């Protein structure tokens, strides 16, 4: 057996309000859940992006927790890549720059496909890339 797809991806942020504004307003993702001070979740096509306050998610759940999710998380910047066509990447580049988001890199991969890299307010490395960089 092999997994069919990645259902959710998580990033860790130090300011949930700034992250919610960035992912909701700058990237246009739809918020689907929020627990003040703990997390904010967004729909991204057929997957979910989870944004957590790392300090809160490292605490084990109480013995009577309704959802006994084990501690998880990390510290420091992570990475997430969003799939986009070449035309969409060009549009994203212009939109992000217009919104004051710096593009750190923009290049063609040797095996084909373009990527642009930028950062969220927590310093996480984000990317828009054509699926063909992975032969998809």
CA distances from 103 to 51, 60, 99, 112 (A): 22, 38, 11, 20
Please, what CATH class does the domain formed by 76-136 belong to? alpha beta
pTM of the model: 0.92
Give the torsion sign (CA, 92, 100, 79, 8). Answer: negative
Looking at the predicted structure, is the pLDDT value of residue 120 above 90? yes
Token pair recorded at residue 62: 């109480």
Statement: 1-58 belongs to CATH 3.30.300.280: no
Query: pLDDT grade, residue 103 (50/70/90)?
Result: very high
CATH 3.10.180.10 placement within the chain: 1-58, 76-136
């Amino acid at each position: 057996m092999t997994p069919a797809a990645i259902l959710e991806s998580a990033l860790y942020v130090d300011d949930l309000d700034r992250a919610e504004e960035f992912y909701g307003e700058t990237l246009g993702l739809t918020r689907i859940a929020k627990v003040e001070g703990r997390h904010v979740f967004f729909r991204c096509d057929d997957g979910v992006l989870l944004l957590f306050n790392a300090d809160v998610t490292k605490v084990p759940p109480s013995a009577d927790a309704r959802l006994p999710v084990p501690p998880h998380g990390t510290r420091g910047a992570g990475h997430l890549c969003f799939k986009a066509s070449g035309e969409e990447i060009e549009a994203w580049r212009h939109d992000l720059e217009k919104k004051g988001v710096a593009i750190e890199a923009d290049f063609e991969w040797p095996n084909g496909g373009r990527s642009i890299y930028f950062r969220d307010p927590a310093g996480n490395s984000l990317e828009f890339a054509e699926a063909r960089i992975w032969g998809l």
